[in-house]
Amino acid sequence: GLAHGGRGRTHRGGKRGITPPESRIWIVMLLLGTCLLYCARVTMPICVVAMSNHFDWDKKQSGIVLSSFFWGYCLTKIIGGHLSDRYQNIDLLFIQIVYPTGGVYFPALASLFSQKVRESERAFTCSTVGTGSQFGTLVIGGVGSLLLEWYGWESVFYFSGLLTLLWVYCMCKYLLNEKEIIIPLGDLAKSLSLSKKAKVPWKQLFKKAPVWAVIVAQLSTGSTFFTLLSWLPTFFKETFPESKGWVFNVVPWLVAIPTSLFSGFLSDHLISQGYKTITVRKFMQVVGSGVSSIFALCMGHTSSFCKAIVFASKAMYKHCGLMRFFSSLFTGVANTGGDLLGVLCVYLAGHLIETTNSWISVFNLVATVNFLGLCTFLIFGEAQRVDTDSTYVDL
């Protein structure tokens, strides 16, 4: 569980810890935070067909709108990752800047997991909190589809925004002290500057093949996941016009949630049984990227709604395994690259649909990018401490 943060008992040196029950509350609240973040992310894909009809957008314009969600992420993840490492206190980040600038969220989680969660429990904790992404998509997919049908696309945005405000209120009211919510502007400005001791030797890091292996793998999995996330509602609506939105926006995530939890448990179990960390990571990456790519290709060649739902359920699986061991600054750098590629892939998917009038090209794009990232990680990926000196701890 989490080691410290939030309200709780005080330890020597002024650092506060939390009891196991409080730790579980924090994990639940972080899971809900991830859930609401994905509610916001998926609102636009669910509403894009109705909005396209309302505003008379073609597929290229829809692609631009869908990809625009990632622009803010690209600008905030590196800064957010540095702030997380600098403060090393998750409380300060979640309320002050997470929801105004959503790109901070996952770098902050990476900092929390790497500092406060035991390695033997890290995969399951990460998968549990990460399940909020599927749960959030499930909630907005079901409720949002009904709101869209009954009250129009505007109601879906109101629903997501009000739930987020409620989460922020509960965090401020019950988990955070007043002093933890406010970051003095002077301290914030100081934290944005890197001291000489804290400066990251980027040139030395980027000379290491394992670093690039993780970055490329993160680029591919992140961008293809969000390409599918952005365009699948439109695919089902156009390919199977008689289908109900609450079915194709909900069923794939009912499968993805237990799959994600099981993958984290299996990963921790295999490592505890003595299997090498790198072997487990590469195996899980094969399952996460390789198998999902096969099912993505299958979606482009089926005329059965039931089969398409099954294929989508398998294609949307995303293993949370690459970034949990890195500092949040490095996570921010890697995820920023993934978001930049996500902007390109989501837009390119719309361009391909408009140009070829076929969804097969989109699924081919997803499979190709995933395959390149997987091969890079399998060839160059290592599970070892990445330092600037010649020594490392082999895992």
Count up the domains in the chain and report the number. Answer: 1
Does residue 67 form part of some domain?
Answer: yes
pLDDT value, residue 191: 47
pLDDT for position 90 = 47
Task: Report if residue 395 sits inside a domain.
Answer: no
> Is 296 among the domain residues?
yes
pTM: 0.75
387 domain residue, yes or no: no
What's the pLDDT score for residue 239?
93
Q: What is the CATH number of the domain that holds 210?
A: 1.20.1250.20
What is the extent of the structural domain holding 361? 12-188+200-380
Q: Label each residue of the chain as H, E or C.
A: CCCECCCCCECHHHCEECCHHHHHHHHHHHHHHHHHHHHHHHHHHHHHHHHHHHHCCCHHHHHHHHHCHHHHHHHHHHHHHHHHHHHCCHHHHHHHHHCCCHHHHHHHHHHHHHHHCCHHHHHHHHHHHHHHHHHHHHHHHHHHHHHHHHHCHHHHHHHHHHHHHHHHHHHHHHHCCHHHHCCCHHHHHHHHCCCCCCCCCHHHHCCCHHHHHHHHHHHHHHHHHHHHHHHHHHHHHHHCCCCCHHHHCCHHHHHHHHHHHHHHHHHHHHHHCCCCHHHHHHHHHHHHHHHHHHHHHHHCCCCCHHHHHHHHHHHCCCCCCCCCCCCHHHHHHHHHHHHHHHHHHHHHHHHHHHHHCCCHHHHHHHHHHHHHHHHHHHHHCCCECCCCCCCCCEC
Query: Does residue 246 fall inside a structural domain?
Result: yes
* 21 belongs to a structural domain: yes
Please report whether residue 303 resides in a domain. yes
Give how far Cα 254 sits from Cα of 91, 209, 312, Å.
Answer: 31, 37, 11
**Average pLDDT by stretches of 10, the chain with 395 residues:** 48 47 76 88 92 93 86 62 52 43 63 64 73 85 94 95 90 70 47 51 78 84 87 94 89 80 82 86 86 91 93 77 51 67 89 93 94 91 60 41
- Quote the pLDDT of residue 390: 43
Please check whether residue 326 lies inside any domain of the structure.
yes
